[in-house]
Structure 1
Amino acid sequence: MQSRRMSYVPISAYFQWVSAGILLVVTIAAFAATIAGFLGFLPMLTLPLQFGEVIYPQAGAAIQVGAIVLLVAICSTLPSGFRVSRLENSHRDFSMCMSDVAEAYQFCHAADREGVFNLGTEYDAVKERIMYLRSHPDLRELEPEILEAAAEMSYASRELAEIYSDENVSRARGFLKHREEEIALFEDKIDRALSVSRELRRQKEAVEVEEAAMENRLHALEEEFGGLLGELGFSRTRTPGNVISMPHATAAE
């Protein structure tokens, strides 16, 4: 039965388009012939009528004009007829698409996170969501069943939308941003402390190098001075504190 219906729809649509095309061509041709008749390029329809003793010699022209008006009126109804036919076909071939439901649910869930819906009971809450989806400019072509399913899904996930509302998410992001700023400030303090520590260590090493150099020079001086004292006949004995004691010379010496 479904295959017969699917095969019937294209055939009926085909005949509808063919009929509309023929009607449009006939209307244009008749309208052009009538205009040409009024301008004298073509003869008008001659159909004398008599009503009692009265004869109407221009009845043919009047009938021709009336037929043109009727054809134009019929052609003006063709767009609405095609829209109705397309709507019937869409209802006949309708099947709920999960992508459309997901799209409608995303809009509804986003509005729920923003705190748009305030009604508490299930019936009123679902109805409020359906009205919101119907008024949305991007969802006007969706079927009512899709909007209803999306509204029910949004109502079922209302607690999730409340927990992850835009206000809560914004507050959490602000808290994390504040923590990041504190961490960055703490890292800056650590970097400065490390820099000071490295500078102190460098200065300490420089002082140690200078002290070692001074000790080496002092040791060299002691060696040189000790040799000179030996040549002069003085004996050198070390005492605590690196003090060299020398004997006192007499007056005769």
Structure 2
Amino acid sequence: MTLIALIGLTAVAYTLACAFGLAPWLTFTAVFGEYSVPNAGLITQIVLTVILASLFFFMPSAGRIMSLERSHRNFKLSMEDVARAYHLCHTADRSGVFTMSSEFDAVRERLSYLRDHPDLDRLEPSVLELAAQMSQQSRELADVYSDEKVMRAKTFLTQRQEEAERQQSLIVEAHHALRDIRKWSQQVELEESVVASQLSQLEEQLEATLPSLGYTLGKESAEIVKLSQKPAAE
């Protein structure tokens, strides 16, 4: 058909060029018995051009007929079409669209759904039937992974994740509090050690000073005891 279209367009273009004096006409003389036709070439060229141009009007219908014949003759199941139809049917099954329990009714219900679907209007009936059967075989899987159960599982996981994040934030706060308490404890121990050192120094100074005043510091009772003094005459 492409070759015929090219030949027809070439013939029309060449004849128009000849009509406007841009190209020479086809010239030959034809003799039929006693009659001679001197412009037989021009007449033949025009008639052939008209015939080829008239074929243009039949090419669209001929192309549609050939396409239909080729599609029916060379039709094969496309796995991509089957997968697309099965995906739509399985998605509807997970949403709870189908309610029939018996195998025959379930397949018929799914097939009716696929036939009425606007995205599958160009698919062959055999493709839709195969997709419906596949969806019926996987109805248990659709029930296990239904939209309601999947949403409930996602909600449960979301709650667990929020709880884990809350526990994590509490652990971080506990670490900060523990660090502050440990730092505070070290500071208190340091202050207590300073106070103990100061008391020890004070006690040493007091023990060194009291004897000159006639007193002594009792170790056990922590009392100041007056020393006995001898008379000056003795």
TM-score, with normalisation over the residues of structure 2? Answer: 0.68
Q: Secondary structure at the match of 1:238?
A: coil
- Give runs of aligned pairs for residues 167-206 of structure 1, distance below 5 A: 167-206=148-187
Per-residue Cα deviation, 1:136-189 (whole angstroms, up to 9, x for no partner): 26x84x543333212111122223223322233223212221222223223323
Cross-structure match for 1:113: 94
What number of residue pairs does the alignment pair up?
Answer: 211
Residue 111 of structure 1 and its aligned partner are, at CA, apart by 2.9
TM-score, with normalisation over the residues of structure 1? Answer: 0.64
RMSD: 3.8
Cross-structure match for 1:47: none
1:223 aligns with 2:204: yes
Instruction: Give the alignment partner of residue 154 of structure 1, picking from 113, 118, 135.
Output: 135
Percent identity, aligned pairs only? 31
Residue 229 of structure 1 and its aligned partner are, at CA, apart by 2.1
- Give runs of aligned pairs for residues 95-106 of structure 1, distance below 5 A: 96=77, 98=79, 100-106=81-87
Cross-structure match for 1:126: 110
Distance change >3 Å, CA 200–CA 24, structure 1 → 2: closer
- Counterpart-to-counterpart distance in 1, 2:108 and 2:203: 105
- Counterpart-to-counterpart distance in 1, 2:58 and 2:231: 156
Q: Secondary structure at the match of 1:24?
A: helix
Cross-structure match for 1:245: 225
The AA in structure 1 aligned to 2:225 is S
Instruction: Give the alignment partner of residue 136 of structure 1, picking from 107, 119, 123.
Output: 119
Q: Secondary structure at the match of 2:98?
A: coil
1:75 aligns with 2:56: no
Please tell me whether the aligned partners of residues 125 and 155 of structure 1 are also in contact (alpha carbons under 8 angstroms): no
Q: Secondary structure at the match of 1:118?
A: coil
- Counterpart-to-counterpart distance in 1, 2:62 and 2:176: 85
Residue 232 of structure 1 and its aligned partner are, at CA, apart by 4.0
Residue 215 of structure 1 and its aligned partner are, at CA, apart by 1.2
Query: Mind listing any 5+ residue stretches in structure 2 that lack a counterpart?
Result: 27-42
Per-residue Cα deviation, 1:42-97 (whole angstroms, up to 9, x for no partner): 59xxxxxxxxxxxxxxxx79x94874564333334342244134314422xx2x45
- Counterpart-to-counterpart distance in 2, 1:224 and 1:26: 130
- Counterpart-to-counterpart distance in 1, 2:155 and 2:62: 60
